[in-house]
């Protein structure tokens, strides 16, 4: 059974349609990537799953139709979202950010720090004092503090130093081993190849193909085409 399924999904910004008849499924513990150029609809698809844009079609999570639920209700069901701009609380410390992300649930701080060891020495540092890569790790750790079943992860490697990208990849693989599913958007095929079970290729709001690990590194002709490289 799929953990997340979207069927005939469309999305709109006002009168402008951004997604067209998208179909996808993510199984429990599976990592699925969305690949495409800027404007292809990757981020919109994640926002549509989270209930942040107007949609048509059907969204099911853990067997339940959630298309009418607001974002905070989807989060309570176990759907986590890490946006591209991270939205770390700059005035709060790392520890306080994690407490906010836990949504009042008890969480295992040591387990989170095992996934993100760089944060161990930063627990009392304010979010605004962290680098972009450190903020990205905090944003993901904060989402995991609520124990989601599936994480929507938007452009995690964008603008991040290679050493931090490698650590993020390790964290995603560890999440998969723990049974957490991930749907991520990316333009970096190497990162996708390092973490994803498969990738969906997006062009102009439509899924136009699929790629597996062997087609991602080195990128196949189809992957290069949708990325424009």
Q: For residue range 61-82, what is the model confidence (pLDDT) as tens digits?
A: 999 999 999 999 999 999 999 9
Distance CA 36, CA 2 (A): 23
**Which stretch of 88-97, 113-122, 150-159, 206-215 has the lowest confidence by average pLDDT?**
206-215
List b or e across 68-91, with b for residues whose CB sees 16 or more CB atoms inside 10 angstroms: ebeeeebbeebbbbbbbebebbee
* Cα–Cα distance measured from residue 169 to residue 115, given in angstroms and rounded to the nearest whole number: 10
pTM for this one? 0.92
- Provide, rounded to the nearest whole percent, the portion of the chain with pLDDT above 90: 76
* Cα torsion 197, 185, 193, 112: sign: negative
Asked if residues 49 and 183 have their Cβ atoms less than 8 Å apart, the reply is yes
The residues pairing with 56 across neighbouring beta strands, listed in sequence order, are 10
pLDDT of residue 221: 82
Structure tokens at 90: 């700059």
**140-188: per-residue pLDDT in tens?**
999 999 999 999 999 999 888 899 899 999 999 999 999 999 999 998 8
Task: Give the per-residue pLDDT at 138.
Answer: 93
Cβ-in-10-Å burial (0-12, 13-18, 19+) of 42 comes to buried
Check pLDDT > 90 for residue 195. Answer: yes
Pick the CATH number of 4-227 from 1.20.1290.10, 3.30.430.20, 3.40.50.300, 1.10.1660.10: 3.40.50.300
Rounded Cα gap, residues 27 and 149, in angstroms: 10
pLDDT at 36 over 80: yes
The domains of the chain are located at 4-227
166 within 8 A of 94, measured Cβ to Cβ: no
**Helix locations, the chain, DSSP H:** 42-50, 71-77, 94-101, 109-115, 132-144, 162-177, 189-195, 221-227
pLDDT, mean over the chain:
92
């Amino acid at each position: 059974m799929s953990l997340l399924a979207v069927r005939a999904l469309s999305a709109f910004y006002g009168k402008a349609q951004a997604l067209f008849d998208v179909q996808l499924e993510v199984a429990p513990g599976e990592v699925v990537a969305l690949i495409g150029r800027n404007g292809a609809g990757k981020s919109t698809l994640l926002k549509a799953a989270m209930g942040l844009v107007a949609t048509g079609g059907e969204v099911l999570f853990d067997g339940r139709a959630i298309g009418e639920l607001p974002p905070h209700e989807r989060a309570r069901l176990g759907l986590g979202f890490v946006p591209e701009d991270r939205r770390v609380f700059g005035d709060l410390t790392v520890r306080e950010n994690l407490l906010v992300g836990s949504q009042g649930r008890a969480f295992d701080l040591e387990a989170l720090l095992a996934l993100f060891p760089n944060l161990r020495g930063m627990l009392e540092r304010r979010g605004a004092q962290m680098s972009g890569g450190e903020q990205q790790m905090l944003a993901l750790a904060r989402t995991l503090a609520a124990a989601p079943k599936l994480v929507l992860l938007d452009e995690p490697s964008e603008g991040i130093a290679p050493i931090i990208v490698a650590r993020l990849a390790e964290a995603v693989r560890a999440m998969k081993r723990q049974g957490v599913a991930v749907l991520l958007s990316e333009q970096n095929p190497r990162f996708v190849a390092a973490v994803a079970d498969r990738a969906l290729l997006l062009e102009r709001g439509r899924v136009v193909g699929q790629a597996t690990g062997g087609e991602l590194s080195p990128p196949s002709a189809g992957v290069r085409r949708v990325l424009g490289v």
